[in-house]
Chain A
């Protein structure tokens, strides 16, 4: 099945810093989503982005489908950005399964 690798596994920032999270995947996809899991465990969808670039406030994401990777950018980080960021994909032609990476744990210190 499709493999999803996220890097780095852990990231510690000072408030106000920028960061880039990476998601590599091993097959062509027709669904790629980024999720944020807050420290209380709630999972929130950030982006649906199987290709191209999207922006939502301080967050933006880019997926280069031909090279099988996606990037999540966080600018001017805030303590509320802390948590775990997951990338999840569905391979083209595959069954209706979303496969998650192991996540990047982000800690933003004041």
Chain B
């Protein structure tokens, strides 16, 4: 199993540009989520999904869109990038929801800089 994969590893954008961060898992996990990590802030939940076709907002959803058309993929879209979105983004997955005791498996992260 490749586990949780994220692409790209690094990205530089200009303000106003759009892009999609890709996340995929090959473990048939139902639950997937996106976090951002900023210095001194820990990880903050952006969006999550409990299964294909179902998504919901986390703590900091503004400026980000998600969709979950398949179990395997959970892309994160930035429609109009802003410097405040400069961060490291992590995707995670678990067999079922976080309320059921499943551990979270994290991808390697995407380091995004918005100029």
* A86 contacts partner chain B, Cβ-Cβ < 8 Å: yes
* B97 contacts partner chain A, Cβ-Cβ < 8 Å: yes
B48 contact set on A, CB distance < 8 A: 96-97
B41 contact set on A, CB distance < 8 A: 102
Interface string of A16-57 (1 = CB under 8 A from B): 000000000000001101010000011111001010000000
Residues on B facing A (Cβ under 8 Å): 31, 33, 35, 40-45, 48, 50, 56, 58-59, 88, 90, 92, 97-106, 108-109
Q: List 22 A-B contacts (CB under 8 A).
A: A31-B99, A41-B88, A42-B106, A42-B108, A43-B92, A45-B103, A45-B104, A45-B105, A86-B42, A88-B43, A96-B31, A96-B56, A97-B48, A97-B58, A97-B98, A98-B98, A98-B104, A99-B59, A100-B35, A100-B42, A100-B43, A103-B42
